[in-house]
């Protein structure tokens, strides 16, 4: 290889290195979106190395070539390795462009203000009572609850469901779409029937006890009296009071007999019979009072919506710090243009006076 080609190859290497230094300086965490495409560099580099190191077969054979040893190389012949290296380097940059080089801008922290809320929803069989239009208590409670959740901004919300026992359906989250989607899966009859208000409050308190926000709230939605579970409701309320957690209670449903599903008639339609659902508004009122909160009664959809909004809209909010999302910066265009420029340079040289060096 001639000294001139060596210098030009080194110069191209310096330029390529400077290009990478620039790319890494555009942001942090420089990398490739599809790094496995970089494996294509191996055959390209191998081919270029073999071409540069290989010898061309002479066009004429001589019995004695000693006299030619001292002849100087032509300029195209001398620059042939550098031109081949330029083509290989250009193709390598095109491959790297296909792998989508990216850098990440510095991410700041986002701040928002909100409260921590756990909704405790009764899913006992009595929630199938059809005194809420257009369907039943469960249908309307889920629908209104989804509306109210979607209206919230920056509140961390969770969901506890209960009947004869209680469990967490959704832990505290800012992803309201997740809550609403999982809320749609909630239905009666999936766990032992009953109304374990105390256990529901205990489960909700456990979800809030480690949170450090100024305002931690439980919204209890039920249509009955406590008749199951191992934790007495007032004892759960006392624990919540000691932890500074408020419990807003909402009694769902109307007084007196309410229509309740009782099988199907001869035409296949749902038949209803009037049933008295035991309620205990005094208990719910005492739970709310003990935790410095309020008790509400909701006998229709509009009343339920109003009470939920009233319980939530005047709470003191806490400023939360959240990690911001760092945007990714695409760098494939500079890589592609640089690679195509080198490949085009090699093509132009092949088509001009350097053509003889590649014959």
Q: What is the pLDDT of residue 288?
A: 95
pLDDT attached to residue 39? 85
How large is the average pLDDT for residues 242-271? 82
Assess whether 306 and 174 both reside in one domain. Answer: yes
Considering the domain architecture, whether residues 186 and 53 belong to the same structural domain is answered as no
Q: Are residues 334 and 280 in the same domain?
A: no
Residues 170 and 298 in one domain: yes
- CATH number at 165 reads 3.40.50.410
Kindly state whether residue 253 falls inside one of the protein's structural domains. Answer: yes
The answer, yes or no, to whether residue 310 has pLDDT greater than 50, is yes
Give the pLDDT score at 79: 63
Helices (DSSP H) in the chain: which residue ranges?
3-24, 41-53, 75-98, 137-151, 176-184, 197-208, 233-242, 281-290, 301-312, 332-351
Residues 345 and 216 in one domain: no
In this structure, the answer to whether residues 138 and 203 fall within a common structural domain is: yes
Q: Between residues 342 and 204, which one has the greater pLDDT?
A: 204
Q: How would you label 213-249 residue by residue, b for 16+ Cβ within 10 Å and e otherwise?
A: bebbbbbbbbbbbbebbebebeebbebbbeeebbbbb
CA 347 from centre of chain? 47
pLDDT for residue 239? 96
Instruction: Provide the domain limits for residue 16.
Output: 3-57+72-105+329-358
Instruction: Report whether 219 contacts 311 (CB < 8 A).
Output: yes
pLDDT over threshold 60, residue 62: no
pLDDT in tens, 187-245: 888 888 999 999 999 999 999 998 888 889 999 999 888 999 999 999 999 999 999 99
Answer yes or no: do 101 and 119 share one domain: no
Residue 64 lies in a domain: no
pTM > 0.85: no
Residue 34, domain member (yes or no)? yes
Domain for residue 62, yes or no? no
Residues 44 and 124 in one domain: no
pLDDT of 185 > 50? The answer is: yes
Question: Tokens in use for 152?
Answer: 């919230």
Looking at the 3D structure of the chain, how many domains does it have?
A: 2
Please indicate, yes or no, whether residues 24 and 157 belong to a single structural domain of this protein: no
Per the listing, tokens 């590649």 go with: 358
Q: Is the pLDDT of residue 318 over 70?
A: no
Weakest mean pLDDT among 29-38, 56-65, 73-82, 142-151:
56-65
Look at residue 166 and tell me if it is in a domain: yes
Kindly indicate the confidence band of residue 170, based on its pLDDT and cuts at 50, 70 and 90: very high
Q: Of 39-43, 52-56, 161-165, 184-188, where does mean pLDDT reach its minimum?
A: 52-56
Q: Would the CA dihedral through 9, 11, 12, 17 be positive or negative? A: positive
Residue 338 has pLDDT above 90, yes or no: no
**Cα–Cα dist 179/161, whole Å:** 12
185 lies in some domain: yes
* Same-domain status, 128 and 277: yes
Mean pLDDT for the chain overall: 80
Domain contains 183: yes
- Answer whether residue 60 shows pLDDT above 60: no
Whether residues 271 and 347 share a domain: the answer is no
Contact 124, 193 (CB under 8 A): yes
Instruction: Mark whether 13 and 83 lie in a shared domain.
Output: yes
| CB distance 253 to 300 below 8 Å | no
Decide if 63 is inside a domain.
no
- Which position has the higher pLDDT, 12 or 280? 280
């Amino acid at each position: 290889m001639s000294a001139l080609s060596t210098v030009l190859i080194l110069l191209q290497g310096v330029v390529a290195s400077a290009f990478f230094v620039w790319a890494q300086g555009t942001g942090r965490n420089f990398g490739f979106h599809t790094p496995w495409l970089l494996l294509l560099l191996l055959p390209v580099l191998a081919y270029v190395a073999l071409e540069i190191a290989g010898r061309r077969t002479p066009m004429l054979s001589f019995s004695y070539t000693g006299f030619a040893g001292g002849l100087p190389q032509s300029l195209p012949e001398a620059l042939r390795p550098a031109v081949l290296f330029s083509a290989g380097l250009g193709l390598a940059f095109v491959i790297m462009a296909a792998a989508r080089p990216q850098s990440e801008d510095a991410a700041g922290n986002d701040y928002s203000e909100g409260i921590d809320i756990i909704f405790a929803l009764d899913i006992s069989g009595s929630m199938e009572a059809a005194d809420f239009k257009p369907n039943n208590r469960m249908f309307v409670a889920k629908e209104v609850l989804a509306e109210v959740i979607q209206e919230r901004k920056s509140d961390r919300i969770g969901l506890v469901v209960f009947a004869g026992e209680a469990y967490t359906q959704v832990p505290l989250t800012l992803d309201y779409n997740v809550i609403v989607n999982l809320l749609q899966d909630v239905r009666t009859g999936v766990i032992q029937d009953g109304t374990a208000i105390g256990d529901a409050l205990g489960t909700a308190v456990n979800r809030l006890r480690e949170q450090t926000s100024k305002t931690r709230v439980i919204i209890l939605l039920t249509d009955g009296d406590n008749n199951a579970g191992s934790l007495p409701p007032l004892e759960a309320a006392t624990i919540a009071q000691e932890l500074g957690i408020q419990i807003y209670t909402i009694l769902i449903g109307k007084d007196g007999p309410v229509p309740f599903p009782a099988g199907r008639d001869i035409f296949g339609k749902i038949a209803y019979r009037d049933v008295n659902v035991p309620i205990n508004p005094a208990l719910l009122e005492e739970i709310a009072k003990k935790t410095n909160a309020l008790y509400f009664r909701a006998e229709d959809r509009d009343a339920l919506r109003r009470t939920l909004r009233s319980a939530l809209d005047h709470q003191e909010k806490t400023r939360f710090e959240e990690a911001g999302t760092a945007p990714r910066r695409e760098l494939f265009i500079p890589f592609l243009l640089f690679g195509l420029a080198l490949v085009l340079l090699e093509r132009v040289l092949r088509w001009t006076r350097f053509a003889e060096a590649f014959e």
